[in-house]
Structure 1
């Protein structure tokens, strides 16, 4: 199946890709990662309105939906651009009061969801609410927590798990940055010791389940973009690198490897776009579609990364070559918000059991 985008969606993708070509070229990204500071990029990104595409106007967004967000994620992955602030905004804005969400999308403040980013967002809440209403607990690898102004904290109390809004700069909040192999994303460990929180008006179980599906789709789209770029790099390199007096691209084994990557890219594109639209429209099987995307696309991206590195040889390991950006990106995407194995387990639980054929 080939998914056809609307004219408006194609225009958005082209415009966004053009903006990233200007402000997130390989050389610009290399400088950002060298400095370890992407706040200027994040600020410009938000100020020029890109963070608000795909989110409701009632929250300060420009409209659209998860498919538009997936197109943005794909281009961010293709450019290996810093995307922590954008992803956090896309996941947290629907959970926040409208006024706060608007400030997040404008870049005035930042928000992070206090869940372990190595697991699906609807995994067990590690925080507890005391009798006086204060919140305590700790969680590792919170995406975007290092620079967050606010934390959305799932915490268990007498009434079950509820979502609380916590000031990330309060004395009762400790944030310890965690180094990731892929430096285009940021995470930190978060500890709350009696922090004050404001209860959010949302059903925690359904809200976190929705975030888990949205995150699965957006991480899959990011992996798709990285995979596309790795294919481009591998094909370009195979046309110029020579062995035995001929370009390595003329060798049958190299052709087969590139062809396999191309098939994976084209299949992944349809899977991601379909899953995005399914989750947006709350299709009865949207959880299955999101699980397929997260499990299959991120696994394909890891396989493509390994193939691209093999085709490049030793030069692919070097900081000066662009391949390592996308290689690391794909490897992290495979683990963010749940591994392929974990989502395959979900998929198995979601599919009906059928009797074996006789």
Structure 2
């Protein structure tokens, strides 16, 4: 009886966290911080059961904090916390998941799918009525990149299902339509990369391959009808201004990285200087503080040392997820692993690994994905 009550409380906490993830950036941060503080203060079993994951998370946060402090002052170090603390939700999620039964994980999977569907429907409704609050591309007053990215796990859960119901097919179509109309290319590319990763995990299961092909065709048709391929042309620079802008920014970021290659300049210390823009890109010069590349961002902020730390943490997470999958064959490991791969691809064109809501979702999935392996990994 006590165990059932405890499980219901844990499920309620996770449900509230996920609901906030889809609706409010401020709320999800407060809830996540409260969950982390509670786990550290009262979750002794959490600390013992997930030592390895806690160590990885603290190593990542603390290392970049120290590097940022060496780069400037306490303010610079605090900025690094703002960009990295989200990883601490992973061991919290692992601890919670380890106490849940399989039926509870199925509930969480369904929640992801149906919450994403509702989120997508609300966006499409806002789009249809021309809500000025979303500027044609926003949902719940959130940047389009983030709004689109948080829909990816639901699509992955549907793609790897043993049997897809008609309801799931409709939801997949709704999510694909919303992601297309949000009109942010990064999450679409991340979705395709994640889907292909899931296909590899499934040993190229023909059902999943067929679904991925249908998904690619569906999104291609939607792009052609609703957006226009000329706006998503990656090869004609005269029509792909966002890529040209990124080239301008990357050129300047790389030059600044060369100045302090070991420890970098600290987080959020980059700003374009149009006087330094090389002639070929001069007409596309723009004022920007976002490097639009996670790898260049970590190199600029924390140097080669910080860059190496990021790759070590990602490698450790992927290794744990693969080990968990090989032992348990659970779909959470597949979705989590695939989501990280998708993020790694998308990170080539934006600050994906340092965006609060995207990281909270991804690291939460990682925690659940490895939770059944906690004893062997500790």
TM-score computed with the length of structure 2 as normaliser: 0.28
Report which of the two has the higher share of strand: 1
TM-score computed with the length of structure 1 as normaliser: 0.29
Report which of the two has the higher share of helix: 2
